[in-house]
Amino acid sequence: MNRKQLVLFNGSPRKAKTSYVFARAMKELAEEKGHKAEIIHIIEYFDEEKPFDALKSIILPQDILGLITPLYVDTLPYPVIWFLEKLACDLTDELKGKEFFAVAQCGFPDTDLLYPLLESCRYFAKTVEMKWLGGLGYGGGALIDGTPLEKLGRKGKKIFSVFSFALDDIVEGKSISPRVQDLLSIKIPRILYRPLAAFLNYRKKREAHLHGVSVADLTRRTYLESKVGRS
């Protein structure tokens, strides 16, 4: 077996939430399959807790780079775009020829929402002349909210097994099979949107109430109240 070396970039500013849970699962699975994997938090480089220059020596020995990220406002979060721009500017020689994949997750159970994000990852790979192995989308990440997969019962087991299938393709340098995405996709029928909206609104208002916040406060138009808006 050809032992591969993977680096998994966590794109979430929240280091222990769902993207990290997914990255950790991928790392464990890669190691079980006899490969070497490590997790890097992009936010630590964005916040300058770690020097960006240090990435050169981290990336050089890697065979495969993976980005595991949440969806923010329909695409990659700001720190992730910053990171990709900087990689494309400063580390092109180090990236060229390596393999790249992405796993994206969003709160709402509709993986179609992740399409522009995953396309941006593909364009990044092409721009820096990496081999694009494909992207996987998971809808419903907010429900996981950082809970380790092993504590999620059947859902956790399913995600583990789907990631395992994806990794089998990835470590062989093959594009992730579309079948893998099909296994991960959940689609809520549109007919359920209205009861779902009602449930989510009930939950949000109850949460607000527990924090002593009224519905009037929730819907406040802060920046039209001149004094309050000018802090």
Partner 1 sequence: MSLVILDAFTQENAIEKALKNLLEKTGKRFFYFKLNEMKILPCRSCGACEIKSPGKCVFHDDMPEIMRAIAPGSLILMLTPVRFGGYSSQLKKVLDKLMILVLPLYTVKDGHLLHPPRYGKKSLLIIGLTGENLPGEEENFRLLAARNALNLQFTHKTLLFAPTDPMAKIEEEIEGALCEVRPG
Contacts with partner 1 by CB under 8 A lie at: 12-14, 17, 46, 70, 72-79, 81-82, 84-85, 108, 113, 115-116, 119-121, 123-124, 126-127, 190, 193-194, 196-197, 200-201, 204-205, 207-208, 211, 213, 217-224, 229-231
Q: Which is nearer to partner 1, 21 or 162 (CB)?
A: 21
Contact 201, 190 (CB under 8 A): no
Q: Which is nearer to partner 1, 57 or 223 (CB)?
A: 223
**CB 135 to partner 1: min, Å:** 13
Number of neighbouring beta carbons within 10 Å of residue 203: 10
Spell 61-100 as b/e; 16+ CB within 10 A means b: ebbbbbbbbbbbeebbbebbeebbeebeeebeebbeebbb
Q: Which is nearer to partner 1, 5 or 201 (CB)?
A: 201
Strand ranges across the sheet with 5-10: 36-41, 5-10, 64-70, 99-106, 131-139
Residues in CB range of 190: below 8 A, 6 or more apart: none
**CB 214 to partner 1: min, Å:** 10
**CB 181 to partner 1: min, Å:** 18
**CB 112 to partner 1: min, Å:** 10
Q: Which is nearer to partner 1, 114 or 170 (CB)?
A: 114
Cα separation of 68 and 42, whole Å? 10
**CB 42 to partner 1: min, Å:** 11
Q: Which is nearer to partner 1, 29 or 95 (CB)?
A: 95
